[in-house]
Structure 1
Amino acid sequence: MQTRNRIPARMRVRGAVSPVVLAVMVIVLALAIAAWFLIVKPYRDANQGIAPVGAVAPTAAAAKAAPPVANVESLSVDQLLAEARKAMNEQRLVAPAGNNAFEFYMKVLEKQPGHPVAADALRETFPFGATATEQTINQRDFGEAQREIDLLAKADPENYTLTILRSKLDAQRKTLDREQQAALDQQKQQQLAAQTAAAAAKQQAADQVAEAQRQQVAREQAARLAQQQQASAAVVGAAKPAAAKPAAAAGGDGDAISDAVLTKQVRPRYPTAAMRANQEGWVDVELSVDGQGVVTNVSVVDSQPKHVFDRAALDAVGRWEFKPAMRNGEPMPVTLRRRILFNLGR
């Protein structure tokens, strides 16, 4: 009895493995091998064409730099997968057109519908493709963004991200339209301001020309008024004779002398400026009458106010006519003085 109990105890002490444990280990190893071939390896094959999480979307320069692949239709499934993996590594997820990972994977699905690697790659890569498309929208390349959205829709038409991308695209288009309209309005305002400034400058130049012409007209008018003051006037008062002085030496008490007699009196024109200013006055003139009764040597002796009516008086008196003065029946020259009155008839 004691001998039978000592044998199993001795085996446990020496570390012997029981048949049950050994069977369990064999089963676990078989399951691990099966999992490797059935799960891990296919997943790793699929992930060879999937961008790692956090991958950066391709830039526009990188997308444009990639040339299109020739004869895509003639490529085999393996070649398409190779091109897709290359595009993934170069971050060409949805662009450029004809040379991006999404189109290669979708071409694989056209050739072999339900291909697990292509289907898994499209599903896993979709968020990164959407991010790349969002960057295209933010860059306001609206035509390219619409193409990328359509490409994503072919891969997963029910994905809600497409609705978000379409909304962002529409919002960016409206924002651009508003900005363009605002820029157009600003341009119109600038043009209007420039036109207003040009019109103001033109008007100012025209005003300056008009002012210069007005000043010129005023100077000419002043000159004419000055001439009229000297050459013409309307005289209301009559000329009063002043003391006559014989030009020749006084004759003897027995000489018969008669004064020169005014036969034609020309009234002076009243100066316009004096008439506007309500001015009145007089001018004393001295004149010579020759033997034919012609007036010569007319000059102003005195006047009030000075130089206002002088020219009008001289011009009028110079056109007077006389019957010459006589001495002993013979005409003789004489010098006379006359006062020419200028008043407004009050």
Structure 2
Amino acid sequence: MDTRTIRQARFARGAVQPAVYAILVIIAVLAGAAWFLIIKPHQDLTRADLGDHPSTPVAASREAPPPPVNVEAMSLNQLLSEARRAMNEQRLASPAGNNAFEFYLKVLQKQPGNQVATDALRETFPFAATNAEQAINQRDFNDAQRQIDLLAKADPSNYTLNILRSKLDAQRKLLDREQQLAADKEKQQQLAAQKAAADKAEAERAASEQAKSQASEQQQRTAQSRLAQQQAAAEAAARQLQANASQSAAPAGESAGGAAGSHAAVLVKNAPPRYPTAAMRANQEGWVELSFTITASGDVSDVKVLDAQPRHVFDRAAVDAVSRWKYQPATQDGNPVVSNKRQRIEFKL
């Protein structure tokens, strides 16, 4: 290689390096211009439309302003302005009548194919769907259904709608089951309370009946004991009368040359009256005065009530008791004869 060729190669390498540097500088300048003139303004606009951060849906922390009075009469620019305002305040799909989706849908009704509204609905759809899912989780089913219907107007074929509808249906069924279980539990508690109250009332009634029965039995035993005492006293008195009659009849028999004497009827068997149950329960006491006939065989017949206090309470018990009494009949000249007698029967507790 001669000297001329070497010089040309060195010159070519020296000329290529400044050209490469110039191209790199131009590319860097164009990239910076594209960032500041195209990409950054687009991102700023997106952040402004979606509330400063498009990837994080934030629920509105302040109360929503009242909706416009007449939305139908608003122009496209007014609707777009209200939509941007709603986006900035995170009113994507709620509240009803005052949210970005409804304003953008009104824009599309007035001007189908409006690019601003179409792009905004497409970009905002995922965040509005998240808000609808939050409404489902909070069990605000009516508002969740309204938001899902609103999303369906914007993009009816979006698969997210199927997911949201399935979640809404599942949450509704879960709530129905919970409410049914709660109702069943409440009903069971009411039935248990009613049964407990009925069992308690039945136990109290049984205890009251048992107490009354025991009191009645005690009163009856007391009455029977008193009547037995009265019967023993009457029998003792009858024996005493019989003894007195025998003593008084002996001299008379001897004076008559051994003929038998006369004496009154003597009680030999006393049947105590049964205390009436109704009178015992009412703690009533009283007496009955009777007249009756003692036959020549010593039986009692023709029992009649002469007086009673109170009337018609102890009459039957007294008559039944006296009718079972047994006497040694009265005698006259040693022969048994019919006699009459009056007797008062006492009823005391």
TM-score, normalising length: structure 2: 0.61
Q: Distance in 1 between matches of 2:90 and 2:166?
A: 25
Q: Distance in 1 between matches of 2:166 and 2:94?
A: 21
Deviates more, 1:70-79 or 1:119-128: 70-79
Other-structure match for 1:169 = 168
Give the letter aligned to residue 125 of structure 2.
F
Give the letter aligned to residue 55 of structure 1.
T
Cα deviation digits, residues 85-121 of structure 1 (max 9, x gap): 2222221111000111111222222223222222222
Deviation at 1:48, TM superposition (A): 3.0
Deviation at 1:209, TM superposition (A): 1.8
Deviation at 1:199, TM superposition (A): 0.6
Q: What is the DSSP-based 3-state SS (H/G/I as helix, E as strand, rest coil) of the residue aligned with 1:73?
A: coil
Distance 1:48 1:215, change over 3 A: same
Other-structure match for 1:50 = 50
Deviation at 1:142, TM superposition (A): 1.0
Other-structure match for 1:75 = 74
Q: Distance in 1 between matches of 2:64 and 2:46?
A: 27
Unpaired segments ≥5 residues, structure 2: 275-320, 335-349
Q: Distance in 2 between matches of 1:242 and 1:115?
A: 140
Distance 1:36 1:57, change over 3 A: closer
Q: How many residues align?
A: 273
Q: What is the DSSP-based 3-state SS (H/G/I as helix, E as strand, rest coil) of the residue aligned with 2:133?
A: helix
Distance 1:70 1:323, change over 3 A: same
Q: Distance in 2 between matches of 1:268 and 1:177?
A: 84
Distance 1:323 1:27, change over 3 A: closer
Confirm or deny that 1:127 pairs with 2:126: yes
Deviates more, 1:46-55 or 1:210-219: 46-55
Q: Sequence identity, in percent? A: 43
1:181-220 to 2 correspondences below 5 Å: 181-220=180-219
Deviation at 1:223, TM superposition (A): 2.3
More contact order relative to length (CA 8 Å, sep ≥ 6): 1
- The structure where helix makes up a greater share of residues is 2
**Is the CA contact (8 Å cut-off) linking 1:58 and 1:93 kept in structure 2?**
no
**Is the CA contact (8 Å cut-off) linking 1:231 and 1:316 kept in structure 2?**
no
Q: What is the DSSP-based 3-state SS (H/G/I as helix, E as strand, rest coil) of the residue aligned with 2:226?
A: helix
Q: What is the DSSP-based 3-state SS (H/G/I as helix, E as strand, rest coil) of the residue aligned with 2:269?
A: coil
Q: What is the DSSP-based 3-state SS (H/G/I as helix, E as strand, rest coil) of the residue aligned with 2:50?
A: coil
Distance 1:207 1:34, change over 3 A: closer
**Is the CA contact (8 Å cut-off) linking 1:57 and 1:91 kept in structure 2?**
yes
Deviation at 1:69, TM superposition (A): 2.2
Distance 1:168 1:320, change over 3 A: same
Distance 1:57 1:31, change over 3 A: closer
Could you say what the CA RMSD is over the residues aligned between the two structures, in angstroms? Answer: 4.6
Distance 1:272 1:100, change over 3 A: same
Q: Distance in 2 between matches of 1:139 and 1:170?
A: 14
Other-structure match for 1:101 = 100
Deviation at 1:260, TM superposition (A): 6.3
1:199-278 to 2 correspondences below 5 Å: 199-231=198-230, 246=247, 264-269=265-270
Give the letter aligned to residue 48 of structure 1.
A
Deviates more, 1:122-131 or 1:30-39: 30-39
Unpaired segments ≥5 residues, structure 1: 274-311, 327-346
Q: What is the DSSP-based 3-state SS (H/G/I as helix, E as strand, rest coil) of the residue aligned with 1:72?
A: coil
**Is the CA contact (8 Å cut-off) linking 1:93 and 1:102 kept in structure 2?**
yes
Deviation at 1:137, TM superposition (A): 0.8
Distance 1:77 1:90, change over 3 A: same
Distance 1:44 1:120, change over 3 A: farther
